[in-house]
Structure 1
Amino acid sequence: MEFEHLVEVNDLDDPAVPDLTRDEVWFGLLCRAEDPRPFLPGLDRCEILTRSETAVTRRLSFGKVQIHDAVRWQAMDWICFESAATADHPGGRLTITIEQPEPEGAALFLRFAYRTTLSETVGEDAKYADYVRSAYHQSDVDTVRVVRMIAESTRTE
């Protein structure tokens, strides 16, 4: 299954909600790589196994289910989470790209692009494709909410 969509970060029509900067959004996405627990309900533990300047590998523990994944990024541009399929997990890839239509503008979007091993047209998986897309969308809206909370908690006024 392949699925992608945009989530608006800043609501330019609501001045009561502070705008986030690209730096703040990027920092929040890096937080998701380092400690994804606030972003992934049910995640008990995240252990970083390897680290470089542009990647980490992790072991994620959801109770007894263990998922190994790799996270790669290009600073201030995109971050990609990729896991292999196992008996307990279908595997897949999520790439989150920061989009800013005007280089100095306040309009910011996150593009979430999914590629999974689930089929949209064949077998049991096909019955759940719409549900999975809806769950991904809600999770992505929640990601922006958590990024916003992180930014607001680290701002110095």
Structure 2
Amino acid sequence: MLRFEHIIQINDPLVPLLTPLTREQIWRGLFIRAHQPTEFVMGLEGCVIENEIEEAGRTILKRVLDFGPFQVHDEVTLTPMQEVTVLAAATRLWPRCEATIRIEEPSPGDFFLRFIYELDLAEGHSDLDETSVELRKQAYLAADMDTVQRIRELAESGKLLH
């Protein structure tokens, strides 16, 4: 099992050039990311949402992500204003993996996004060497920084309003 976790500060009073975001704006950005991942994920050619259900106050999406040479089937659970969890089942090309993005607010208006990745490297996917693991972690971090930047762009353009 490979687990990687990191946190990105959203609002920083020491950086006045960063426009503060509200929990609603952050949530709306994560909601859009789940429904329109091609706006956020480089190399993703398409996404089909096969099913969307409301269950126990959460929304569950079953998606097919088209990366051109291969497809990934995943399930996204959106817990409003709190977190998004993406679960991708293992295939012969891809280990079972789970990614969670959680909105944290240690003090009022002081928002962070916590990103947690867990890859099940059992069952034929355990051949990641230390360099591959480090490269994967760097890729996650870069993608997550891009996600935050994209949410900021959407907020500045007014697209995160209801």
Q: Tell me the TM-score normalized by structure 2.
A: 0.87
Q: Which amino acid aligns with 2:157?
A: S
Deviates more, 1:137-146 or 1:18-27: 137-146
> 2:6 aligns to what?
5
Q: Which runs of 4+ in 1 moved over 4 A?
A: none
How far does the alpha carbon of each residue in 1:122-147 deviate from its partner, in whole angstroms, 9 at most, with x for none? 96303311111111111111111111
SS at 1:88's partner residue?
A: coil
Instruction: Establish whether residue 143 from structure 1 lines up as the match of residue 144 from structure 2.
Output: no
Instruction: Establish whether residue 106 from structure 1 lines up as the match of residue 87 from structure 2.
Output: no
Q: How does 1:18-37 map to 2 (within 5 A)?
A: 18-37=19-38
Q: How does 1:46-85 map to 2 (within 5 A)?
A: 46-53=47-54, 54-85=59-90
Q: Which amino acid aligns with 1:139?
A: A
Q: Which runs of 5+ in 2 are unaligned?
A: none
Deviates more, 1:26-35 or 1:132-141: 132-141
Q: Output the CA distance in 1 between the equivalents of 2:50 and 2:33.
A: 15
Q: Which amino acid aligns with 1:125?
A: L
Contact map agreement 1:12 1:106 (CA 8 A) in 2? no
Q: How does 1:116-127 map to 2 (within 5 A)?
A: 116-118=119-121, 124-127=127-130
Q: Output the CA distance in 1 between the equivalents of 2:62 and 2:19.
A: 33
CA RMSD of aligned residues (A): 1.7
How far does the alpha carbon of each residue in 1:13-69 deviate from its partner, in whole angstroms, 9 at most, with x for none? 121221000000000000111000121100000000000131111000001211100
Deviates more, 1:125-134 or 1:65-74: 125-134
Q: Output the CA distance in 2 between the equivalents of 1:143 and 1:19.
A: 16
Q: Output the CA distance in 2 between the equivalents of 1:123 and 1:49.
A: 30
> 1:134 aligns to what?
138
Distance 1:68 1:13, change over 3 A: same
Contact map agreement 1:26 1:76 (CA 8 A) in 2? yes
Query: What is the identity percentage for the equivalent residue pairs of Structure 1 and Structure 2?
Result: 37
Of 86, 104, 109, which residue of structure 1 is paired with 2:91? 86
SS at 1:81's partner residue?
A: strand
Number of equivalences: 152
Q: Tell me the TM-score normalized by structure 1.
A: 0.90
SS at 1:37's partner residue?
A: helix
